[in-house]
Amino acid sequence: MTKVAFIGLGVMGYPMAGHLVKAGFDVCVYNRTTAKAEQWANEFSGTFATTPKQASDNADIVFACVGNDDDVRQVSFGEDGIFAGLETGAIYVDHTTASAELARELNDFAVKQGNHFIDAPVSGGQAGAENGLLTVMCGGDETTFAKVQPVMAAYAKFSQLMGASGYGQIAKMANQICIAGVVQGLSEAFNFAQRSGLDADKLVETISKGAAGSWQMENRYKTMFAGEYDFGFAVDWMRKDLAIAFAEAQKVDAKLPMTEMVDGFYEQVQQNGGNRWDTSSLISLLKD
């Protein structure tokens, strides 16, 4: 049986690690809050460790899904970090949305240590994690990807190797840029439709069948029309992801004028107390 570890049991990692158990893998987890790890172990009949190193001991593959670059470094390096526990030839897969620079740093460290690394940010949100329907964008070498892809299938409906180390993260940046523009467009269209007296269900049933259709439209229109945002992918997380994209865009001289504008709107949502609201809360700025 393949032995895996999962580091980070947030809204994404908790169900992802659970799917690994359901798929038949031997799973040991670590979380900074030990009580959360113990709760997971009781729920899924897995085991938990008190350090990333301990969780990684004897693991064939170690998965991580934490908050940002600093969090990844904290769980990866040092005497209690993931790398300290990896056996030679083991694979480290980072599902955190982080910088491409960090992905390359982790890959270089892994290679020097005799290990392998894949940067593998995900898309699909909390619902995708809970339902095992995530999309995974990966960076690394083909041989390593081929080994981890069938394991990730426990919680992913689709995974793709985008290129060398770091390209998984760059793909996720492009993903977030797309979402920002789509949600702003939906916000303006739905606000316009609501003020004009259109029936929301009939509108979406009709235009979702054409060129305007999108996942965001079909899954968020009811709550956007109702002014409900207390769920889903938080504005704070989106702004963190967009900041990473802006930094990378500067390096490659890519202009992101629309994304910068939408990021400013998200900042206004934060100022209105919507830090933890779903990203679809952009429409709240148009309802006043």
157 belongs to the catalytic site:
no
Catalytic residue, candidates 147, 172, 202, 240: 172
Encode burial over 115-139: b for 16+ CB neighbours within 10 A, e otherwise: bbbbbbbbbbbbebbbebebbbbbb
Residue 276 tokens read as: 């933890």
Asked if residues 269 and 277 have their Cβ atoms less than 8 Å apart, the reply is yes
Asked if residues 154 and 132 have their Cβ atoms less than 8 Å apart, the reply is yes
Report how far apart the first and last C-alpha atoms of the chain are (Å, whole number): 57
Q: How many residues does the chain have?
A: 288
Asked if residues 65 and 136 have their Cβ atoms less than 8 Å apart, the reply is no
Within 10 Å of residue 277's Cβ, how many Cβ atoms?
23
List residues bridging with 4 in a β-sheet: 27, 61
272 burial class (0-12, 13-18, 19+ CB within 10 angstroms)? middle
Asked if residues 23 and 17 have their Cβ atoms less than 8 Å apart, the reply is no
Please tell me what DSSP assigns to residue 249: H
Catalytic residues: 172
